[in-house]
Structure 1
Amino acid sequence: MKKHQESATSVRNKLNFKNGLQKFFSSLIYSFLNQLQHTMKYVQTDQILEIPEDVTVDIKARVVKVTGPRGELTKDLKHIDVTFNKISNRAVKITVHNGDRKHVAALRTVKSLIANLITGVTKGYKYKMRFVYAHFPINVNIIDKDGAKFVEIRNFLGEKRVRHIKIQEGVTMELSSTQKDELVVTGNSLEAVSQNCADIQQICRVRNKDIRKFLDGIYVSERGTIVQDI
């Protein structure tokens, strides 16, 4: 009986040792593959961007200038190490040499940024924001102050504080004539339009109250383009 117990204990110890070895080598292999994946270099990665007929794209020293029917936009991409090669008047090839995963991801980001510029100069961007309140009506006006335009927000949660947000260059804001308590934000630059909307939403955050109960604020309700596709 004693011998049987000792043999069972030794078998259990061997199994535990074997499982421990398997886990150790599995974690070792996983960490090695993970490290290899992060240190692996791609010899060359390309992205091709198609340019519409009514748009011209000029690139000099990684400064991209896009001109279209709605105007002109410029984007400085000197901080991203990519190579631009104009295949034709209607296509641009963006290349990364010896890049890792993050560098290749940055390549796709560059392509998206230029595509947003093209959309901006052809269709423009339009964001709609709705005023949400339960008791205290939010009053919003567009005012001129010191030679610049501002969005003036009053009576948020009944507060005496008057909030001002500067309207960025190239952005137009107006109160909707068809929908009550709606602000329409338009412009060619997606960054400027979305940043202005974010500034308005952030300055109207509810503080020191239960946000599950107090839902007051000004929120983006719709995103789209000024020129709609038929």
Structure 2
Amino acid sequence: MERVGKNQLRVRKWFGVRKEIAAIRTVCSHIQNMIKGVTKGYRYKMRSVYAHFPINVTLQDGGRTVEIRNFLGEKIVRRVPLPEGVTAALSTAQKDELIIEGNDIQLVSQAGSLIHFFV
């Protein structure tokens, strides 16, 4: 890996076999995702859907913890701590929508899957 210019980076592999070239492509994809995350950021939107018992989603610690109440009428309060660098917010435009934002696509998607897993 070498820096070619001010805004260019070159990743090379000479005489690489298939798995080594695949690893190089993975490194390039991670670098592109990091650049996009720092410049634009990543945003996932999740909606809570219910038929009879309305699910209440609240935020604690300034969007660092998501609390899910009344899931299927249960009295259990589910608390989902979000990874470092990921914040959550409730949407004002759409009812029952949770917006998850951050710079790292892997952490943002992991936060969405953690919320889905805890429910």
Highest RCO, 1 vs 2 (Cα 8 Å, sep ≥ 6): 2
SS in 2 for 1:141: strand
2:67 corresponds to which residue? Answer: 152
Aligned to 2:3, what secondary structure does the other structure show?
strand
| Match in the other structure for 1:226 | none
How do 1:1-230 residues align onto structure 2 when only pairs under 5 Å count?
A: 84-144=1-61, 149-204=64-119
Q: In structure 2, what residue type is equivalent to 1:107? A: I
Structure with higher strand content: 1
Q: Which amino acid aligns with 1:129?
A: M
TM-score by length of 1: 0.49
* Structure 1 residue 201 displacement after superposition: 1.2
Structure 2: tracts of 5 or more residues without a match: none
In the alignment of these two chains, the number of paired residues is 118
Instruction: Give the counterpart letter for 1:121 in structure 2.
Output: V
1:88 aligns to what SS in structure 2?
coil
| Alignment partners' CA distance in 2, 1:132 and 1:107 | 41
Greater shift in the superposed pair: 163-172 or 179-188:
163-172
Q: CA deviation at 1:161?
A: 2.0
- In 1, Cα distance between the equivalents of 2:94 and 2:45? 10
Which TM-score applies when normalising by structure 2?
0.90
Does the Cα contact within 8 Å between 2:66 and 2:81 map onto a contact in 1?
yes
* Deviation for aligned residue 1:193: 1.0
Q: CA deviation at 1:98?
A: 4.1
Mapped partners of 1:118, 1:198: distance in 2: 23
CA-CA distance at 1:118 after TM superposition: 0.6
Runs of 4+ in 1 over 4 A off after TM superposition: none
Identity over aligned residues, as a percent? 52
- Greater Rg over alpha carbons, structure: 1
Q: Distance in 1 between matches of 2:88 and 2:64?
A: 9
Q: Does the residue aligned with 1:126 lie in a helix, a strand or coil?
A: strand
Paired with 1:158 and 1:114, the residues of 2 have a C-alpha distance of: 44
Question: Structure 1 residue 154: deviation in Å?
Answer: 1.1
Structure 1: tracts of 5 or more residues without a match: 1-83, 205-230
